[in-house]
Amino acid sequence: MSSAVQHTHASVDRPGRKTRSRRDYAVALPVWAAPAIAALTLLFAVPLAHNAWQSLTKEEATADAFFYYRKIISDPYYRGVLFETLSVSFIVTVLCLLLSYPVAYYLARHARRSRSAILFLLVAPLLTSVIMRTLGIRLILAKQGLLNALLDTVSLGPIPPSLLNGPFSVYVGIIHVLIPFMVLSITPVIQRIEPAIEESAVILGAGALRTFWHVTLPLSREGIYTGCILVFMMSNGSFITQLMLGAGKVVTMPVLIFQQFNVTQDTAFAGAMGNMLLIMTIVCLAIQSLLISRSRRPQ
Amino acid sequence: MIAGIKTLSPKTVLRSGALPVSISGVSKQYGDTMALQPLDLEVAAGELVSLLGPSGCGKTTTLRIVAGSPDSGTIRFGTQDVTNVQPNRRGLGMVFQSYSLFPHMTVEENVAFGLRMRGVEGAERSRRVAQMLDIVHLASFAKRFPAQMSGGQQQRVALARALVTNPSVLLLDEPLAALDKNLREQMQFEIRDIQRRLGITTLLVTHDQEEALTMSDRVAVMCEGSLLQIGTPGSIYTRPRSRFVSAFLGTSNLFSVMTLGTDDRGRIVVRLDASGLVTSAVPGDPAWTPSPGKACVLAIRPEKLSFRRHEVGESPQGMLATMRQRVFRGSYEVCEFAVEGLKSPVVAYTPESGAGALEGDLVDLAWHEDNAVLLAD
């Protein structure tokens, strides 16, 4: 009897409507996204389209739409720059990964009290402009800078300026800027690996090294992919470091674009190079989503 | 060091096969808290001993020490001192509450992992994996990933993974706590059966008294970092040595009593504070004989209490009580009685619905004196 009464109550409580849609609980309206969409269209999509249009129609592209693109790929100089861009990014990514993984592992597994301090040290540099930080590195690595002064006090000769100014400093600079992104990509993924899983591997006979190789590393793949792609793309797009620390010895795509826009004012060619970079970035993102969806397949 | 016992270097690989486990004087400290008082525990080859107690009693610490290192004391498998042997070289199998399967490997790869680490190759490895999957009834799931399986199936994979290497000791850390009740009961019997068939020395950590009673050859009850009592499930249940053990394993009716002396059969004669009834009881600890005039506690299991309606004018037999409630529980009934002078109600389980008493009736409560256990407070 009492259950029958309850049933009646239940149906009275929900008059007519059988299911509630998410809309009933929504706080925001789709219209609210309008300013953001407008801004993106005006400041991003339109210039991008304009750029693409120019690179296909202006100057020497008037007769041959793909003139500039063909030039980038077939001209040995520009092909070299393209290769240099990719190789710098590749080396930066590998070094970043090697330097960041131990930090990420320590942060996820061992840091207790030092945790917030390490996180602060990782994030704090992001609050300063890249230019300021690169300038700082330039001062440290200058001919009579901090590094050489320190080496001098321990009676080690100064590092020759040819080494200080050039690829070495550029790598130091880019890696310095990008390491936080790698660490912050990997740490949460390692954190999600249950310690008991590694413990199981040890009890099943795997030593520390084999546990890392067979269990920890494969399970942190997702973070590694994300971090690597992020760092690779950001390195692809960086040019301030090359300009300030490279002494003209490291010429990558963005450096060339910067020169084309500001020095030669060849906007059509610069646009074509920009689009090349954009295509490379899109390919990177595609690879990332492919790798991650594959590593997620068992779940 | 006892003669004949070899101390092994951390690099020695132990031979697999069931071994007795001997833990002596083992203790562990975390910061300022003593997680484990010096503890001795002997597990015979092929025996299943469960460590039972509330959380924080040191049971998991004890289990982890068998797979790790104590602050003091020694751990021996058979005649071999393994205290300083690295965990990956002790020849252990372990099952965790969270299963802790490798999510990036298939069921087959999970089970094969231990064999791979031991250098078992090719056909031999596949044969042993297939055989073990057969034992846990998962032969058709070999190619699945853990995330595609139910909790019970995952736990069976974890068991297969732990057993396939033919470990000398199997450690089960609350292996069934994450499963729902029906599955848990089924798995208790299943694990018990597999453990017996393979004859593997096993330590089981649980906080579930029913699980401990069902699965174990012997139960070790722990509290606050020390071992209170160890014995067969039956002996622990019927002859608890302390109030804690009595209360932790099932329900007990507790009466405060005063000791008077001993009877002709060696039992202790006591007087109940509440009703003044004089009766005999067996001491929980066989070695304990309290002196007369001592305040103690009498523990009687609800199923050992019988009752019948008290007829008017009849002289009371046993303890006079008023029936408060009768609750039907399927295979038995729970009856609750109020006894004058007692704050908490007395509970009795009775298999039959008869006994002629109704709620509100005056009844005589009785029990066999051998079923009344005397405990120091």
Q: Model confidence over A151-182: pLDDT tens digits?
A: 888 877 777 777 777 788 889 889 999 999 99
Residue B301 and residue B205: Cα distance in Å, rounded? 25
User: Domain containing B191: what range?
Assistant: 6-243
In a domain, A229, yes or no: yes
Set of chain A residues whose Cβ sits within 8 Å of the Cβ of B67: 203
Residue B98 has pLDDT above 60, yes or no: yes
Question: Domain with B340 in it: what CATH number?
Answer: 2.40.50.140
Q: Are residues B267 and B229 in the same domain?
A: no
Q: Residue A5: what pLDDT?
A: 41
Set of chain B residues whose Cβ sits within 8 Å of the Cβ of A295: 104
Q: Are residues B119 and B150 in the same domain?
A: yes
Q: Are residues B370 and B272 in the same domain?
A: yes
For the record, the structure tokens of A198 come out as 């590694």
Quick check: A201 and B96 CB within 8 A?
no
Average pLDDT, chain A: 83
- What b/e readout covers B68-102, taking b as 16+ CB neighbours within 10 angstroms? bbbeebbbbbbebbbbebbbbbbbbbbbbbbbbbb
| Boundary-marking domain end, from B186, B221, B243 | B243
DSSP secondary structure letters along B350-368: ES-S-TT--TT-EEEEE--
Q: Which of B15, B94, B144 to substitute to test the interface with A, most A CBs within 10 Å? A: B94
Q: Which of B99, B113, B155, B171 to substitute to test the interface with A, most A CBs within 10 Å? A: B113
For the record, the structure tokens of A232 come out as 């690779």
Pick B113's closest partner by Cβ from A199, A204, A218: A204
CA distance, residue B89 to nearest chain A CA (Å): 6
CA distance, residue B182 to nearest chain A CA (Å): 26
* Three-class secondary structure of residue A52 per DSSP: helix
Q: Are residues B103 and B199 in the same domain?
A: yes
Q: Which residues of B touch A (CB under 8 A)?
A: 67, 86-90, 92-94, 96, 98, 100-104, 106, 113-114, 117-118, 145-148, 161-162, 165, 171
The closest of A11, A45, A35, A59 to A269, measured between CA atoms, is A59
Q: Residue B161: what pLDDT?
A: 93
| Residues B97, B175 contacting (CB under 8 angstroms) | yes
Residue of B nearest to A295 (CA): B104
Pick B92's closest partner by Cβ from A197, A203, A207: A203
Set of chain B residues whose Cβ sits within 8 Å of the Cβ of A294: none
Q: Are residues B162 and B190 in the same domain?
A: yes
Least confident of A244-258, B83-97, B161-175, B220-234: A244-258
Set of chain A residues whose Cβ sits within 8 Å of the Cβ of B88: 202-207
Please, what is the end-to-end C-alpha distance for chain B in angstroms?
39
Least confident of A162-171, A210-219, B273-282, B359-368: A162-171
Q: What is the pLDDT of residues B312-370, one digit of tens each?
A: 777 777 888 899 988 888 888 899 999 888 888 999 998 876 557 788 888 888 898 88
Q: Are residues B161 and B271 in the same domain?
A: no
| Residues B45, B18 contacting (CB under 8 angstroms) | yes
Pick B104's closest partner by Cβ from A199, A200, A219: A219
| Residues B326, B356 contacting (CB under 8 angstroms) | no
Set of chain A residues whose Cβ sits within 8 Å of the Cβ of B30: none
Query: Hey, what amino acid is at A289?
Result: S
In a domain, A35, yes or no: no
CA distance, residue B141 to nearest chain A CA (Å): 14
Q: Are residues B220 and B307 in the same domain?
A: no
| Residues B324, B359 contacting (CB under 8 angstroms) | yes
Whole-prediction pTM: 0.76
Residue B138 and residue B132: Cα distance in Å, rounded? 9
Least confident of A65-69, A190-194, B204-208: A65-69
| Boundary-marking domain end, from B213, B243, B273 | B243
For the record, the structure tokens of A211 come out as 């546990």
In a domain, B69, yes or no: yes
- Of residues A264 and A191, the one with the higher pLDDT is A191
Set of chain A residues whose Cβ sits within 8 Å of the Cβ of B145: 298-299
Quick check: B114 and A205 CB within 8 A?
yes
Residue A240 and residue A192: Cα distance in Å, rounded? 36
Q: How many domains does chain A have?
A: 1
Q: Are residues B223 and B271 in the same domain?
A: no
Q: Are residues B294 and B167 in the same domain?
A: no
CA distance, residue A206 to nearest chain B CA (Å): 6
Least confident of A14-23, B80-89, B110-119: A14-23
- Of residues A65 and B369, the one with the higher pLDDT is B369
Query: Hey, what amino acid is at A46?
Result: V
Q: Residue A40: what pLDDT?
A: 93
Quick check: B86 and A207 CB within 8 A?
yes
Q: Residue A18: what pLDDT?
A: 52
Residue B13 has pLDDT above 70, yes or no: no
Least confident of A15-19, B133-137, B198-202: A15-19
Q: How many domains does chain B have?
A: 2
Q: Are residues B214 and B270 in the same domain?
A: no
Quick check: B100 and A200 CB within 8 A?
yes
Set of chain B residues whose Cβ sits within 8 Å of the Cβ of A210: 117
Quick check: B146 and A215 CB within 8 A?
no
In a domain, B94, yes or no: yes
CA distance, residue B330 to nearest chain A CA (Å): 23
State the sign of the Cα–Cα–Cα–Cα dihedral A90, A91, A96, A101: positive
Question: Sheet harboring B21-30: ordered strands across?
Answer: B6-7, B80-81, B72-77, B21-30, B33-43
Quick check: B113 and A214 CB within 8 A?
yes
Using CA atoms, how far residue A231 sits from A51, A94, B64, B164, in Å, is 25, 9, 41, 43
**Using 50, 70 and 90 to split pLDDT, how confident is the model at A295?**
low
| Residues A220, A291 contacting (CB under 8 angstroms) | no
Q: Are residues B133 and B105 in the same domain?
A: yes
Using CA atoms, how far residue B351 sits from A62, A127, B213, B332, B348, in Å, is 100, 75, 21, 4, 10
| Boundary-marking domain end, from B243, B277, B300 | B243
Pick B145's closest partner by Cβ from A210, A214, A298: A298
Residues 6 or more apart whose Cβ sits within 8 Å of residue B207:
B52, B53, B54, B55, B59, B174, B177
Q: How many CB atoms lie within 10 A of CB B244?
A: 19
Question: Sheet harboring B218-223: ordered strands across?
Answer: B92-95, B169-173, B201-206, B48-52, B218-223, B226-231
Quick check: A203 and B88 CB within 8 A?
yes
Query: Residue A212 class from Cβ within 10 Å (0-12 exposed, 13-18 middle, 19+ buried)?
Result: middle
B48-52 vs B218-223, strand pairing mode: parallel
In a domain, B1, yes or no: no
Quick check: B86 and A210 CB within 8 A?
no
User: Domain containing A162: what range?
Assistant: 60-295
Phi, psi of B71 (to 5 degrees): -75, -35
Set of chain B residues whose Cβ sits within 8 Å of the Cβ of A223: none
For the record, the structure tokens of A33 come out as 């996204």
- Of residues A64 and A188, the one with the higher pLDDT is A188
ipTM over 0.90: no
Quick check: A201 and B146 CB within 8 A?
no
Pick A205's closest partner by Cβ from B102, B147, B165: B165
In a domain, B275, yes or no: yes
Residue B53 and residue B212: Cα distance in Å, rounded? 10
Q: Are residues B167 and B33 in the same domain?
A: yes
Q: What is the pLDDT of residues B124-145, one digit of tens each?
A: 999 999 999 988 889 899 999 9
Question: Domain with A133 in it: what CATH number?
Answer: 1.10.3720.10
Set of chain B residues whose Cβ sits within 8 Å of the Cβ of A202: 87-88
Question: Domain with B57 in it: what CATH number?
Answer: 3.40.50.300
Query: Residue B296 class from Cβ within 10 Å (0-12 exposed, 13-18 middle, 19+ buried)?
Result: buried
In a domain, A238, yes or no: yes
Set of chain A residues whose Cβ sits within 8 Å of the Cβ of B11: none
Size of interface A-B (CB pairs under 8 A): 70
Q: Which residue has the tokens 């029958």?
A: A4
Q: Which of A192, A200, A225 to substitute to test the interface with B, most B CBs within 10 Å? A: A200
The 3-state DSSP composition of chain A as helix, strand, coil percent (nearest 5) reads 80, 0, 20
Q: Which of B94, B96, B100 to substitute to test the interface with A, most A CBs within 10 Å? A: B100
Query: Hey, what amino acid is at B286?
Result: P
CA distance, residue B145 to nearest chain A CA (Å): 6
For the record, the structure tokens of A84 come out as 């240099």
